[in-house]
Amino acid sequence: MESYFLDWANLLLRWVHVITAIAWVGSSFYFVFLDSSLTPPEDPELKRQGVSGELWAVHGGGFYHPVKFAVSPPKLPGHLHWFYWESYSTWLTGFSLFTVSYLWSASTYLIDKSRMDWAPAEAIAVALGFLVVFWLLYDGICRVFGQRKNGDAIVGALVLVLVCVASWLACHWFAGRAAFLLMGAMIATSMSANVFFWIIPGQRTVVQQIKDGLPVDPIHGKRGKQRSVHNTYFTLPVLFAMLSNHYSFTYTHPQNWLVLIAMMFAGAAIRQFFVMRHGYKLGRNAHPWPYAAAGVLVLLALITWMRPAPVAPAAASAAPAAVSFVEVQKVLSARCYMCHGEAVQMKNVRLDSPEQVKAHAQAVYQQAVVTKIMPMNNATGITDEERALIGAWFLAGAPTAP
């Protein structure tokens, strides 16, 4: 029964998490596009009010004319829309989902004893430590180097090193799928912390200064913009990490930490292309195609490097050896019954009867032979020979007769 309710919690949290993430990423991408596409105002009245840029756009049958004030508007409107609940809701639902999916069953989903044999409480504490320590180090880098000359380049290089170190540690300490998800959660936590600790407080300070009739300090806008730009570069790496659990060939690779770093780098490079291309159209930047090319080249290099080794074709005269259900049942009994037997039915799947095995034969083949994600983290020690046996049985029609 616990597994049933956990499945519902996973479904509903994942649904809400995706919805709020779409809202957050969408607004983030829009405002980055807006900043890159603004042109100096032509109307003298707009210039007098302190407008530094404007944009004319058409969407959904209507025309829109957003403007941006260099520091602050001459007068606050009666209603000011804030963008922060998209971020907070995404983090809250994401952390809840991570808790239900990984922390709640840490011994099954978080720990891979072949990598690090520690108690669930220890693994959970270290995983949570990733979220906190990365934010503290990243924030410290931004504070120390962010305002220096060439500060953006220095911060970018140091954060890249930090991500590489964290990826290596996560992939050597945790199960592969959990390591990738943890890296995504770690970076996403820093994104939301940027909103919570820097962007929104800075905006509230500016609003209060305007209300009090005080000069507005432009540093708050500059810091908020800096952290917002960081967030947009983090977005594609985080999205890959969150989607990676569907593609076991990435996190089960022997050098999965290199796969993770390369995919994140490719995502950040491609995002840089999209950030800069709007400015190029307005004549502000050189064409940013090298960034897109770098990202694509990294992806092509990964595809080439990770391709499976060719398998020698079997002799044409060799007939495939018949595999009986009794042989398959022995493997299932030793490797699968503990989670899919009479006592426990994870995901409401039982494999301890011929009828149930027949009903789930396709799933067994996909999970145990094709993707090799089951048994989870290979906790029961299934061998390649046993996987091949299940594969031969399935391809022969999955017979269940004795």
Per-residue pLDDT of 365-396, as tens digits, reads 888 888 777 887 777 788 888 888 888 888 88
**Are the C-beta atoms of 216 and 71 separated by less than 8 Å?**
yes
- Name the token pair of 252: 């089960």
In a domain, 27, yes or no: no
- Name the token pair of 248: 């076991």
CA-to-CA dists, residue 276 to 51, 266, 312, angstroms:
22, 16, 47
Number of structural domains found in the chain: 2
What pLDDT shows up at residue 279? 74
Same domain, 228 and 373: no
What pLDDT shows up at residue 84? 92
pLDDT class for 318, splitting at 50, 70, 90? low
Element (H, E) at 261: helix 256-281
In a domain, 30, yes or no: no
Same domain, 160 and 242: yes
Strands (E), 193-255: none
Average pLDDT over residues 22-51: 91
176 Cβ contact list (under 8 Å, min separation 6): 112, 251, 252, 253, 256, 377
Among 242, 275, 306, give the residue marking a domain's end: 306
CA-to-CA dists, residue 328 to 320, 336, 342, 351, angstroms:
16, 11, 18, 11
Same domain, 331 and 299: no
Cα separation, 197 vs 216, whole angstroms: 19
Same domain, 178 and 294: yes
Same domain, 116 and 239: yes
- Name the token pair of 362: 């396709």
Least confident of 54-63, 226-235, 390-399: 390-399
In a domain, 315, yes or no: no
Cα separation, 354 vs 364, whole angstroms: 13
User: What distance, in Å, lies between the first and last C-alpha atoms of the chain?
Assistant: 32
Mind listing the pLDDT tens digit for each residue in 131-175? 999 999 999 999 999 888 888 899 999 999 999 999 999 999 998
Average pLDDT over residues 306-331: 72
What pLDDT shows up at residue 320? 56
**Are the C-beta atoms of 179 and 171 separated by less than 8 Å?**
yes
Task: Tokens 């995502």: give the residue.
Answer: 267
Same domain, 278 and 142: yes
Q: What is the domain extent for residue 137?
A: 84-306
